Amino acid sequence: MSDPRSKDASPRVAIVEALRVGAPGALTEETRRAFLDTGMNIVLAELGMDSLGEMEFCIAIELKTGVTLLPAELAELKSTDAVERRIRERLDEAARSGAGTPR
């Protein structure tokens, strides 16, 4: 299995896995497939995550990617596309600086 922090690991897969934890039942199989296969964007507020769900989502993202997101950032990011961009930005910053774990 590859390191989830490698460039080849998909932030979109990490987001789906994090949504399973933070917003259980919010993604139908059809929505999950559309998100992964067609690049569908999901508005986070529409998922009904409570504060615990947001925390669990952020923890799952960090475990899968090494990127730290705070629940307060989710209100600013608003969507899965924005979360994906943030993850990619931080992974790129870490790669450029030679840092082991992005924050």
pLDDT in tens, the chain (103 residues): 333 334 444 899 999 999 999 999 999 999 999 999 999 999 999 999 999 999 999 999 999 999 999 999 999 999 999 999 999 999 999 888 876 656 6
CA distance 76 to 79: 9
Cβ atoms < 10 Å from Cβ of 42 = 21
Question: DSSP secondary structure string, 9-63?
Answer: S-HHHHHHHHHHHHSTT-S-HHHHHHHHHH----BGGGGT--HHHHHHHHHHHHH
Task: Determine the Cα–Cα distance for residues 59 and 94; give it in Å rounded to an integer.
Answer: 19
Q: From residue 28, give the alpha-carbon distance in Å to each of 15, 20, 57, 59.
A: 14, 10, 17, 22
Nearest to 95 by CA among 66, 61, 64, 57: 66
List, in order of start, the domains of the chain with CATH numbers: 11-96 (1.10.1200)
The pTM (predicted TM-score) of the whole model is: 0.84
State the first-to-last Cα distance of the chain, in angstroms, to the nearest integer: 23
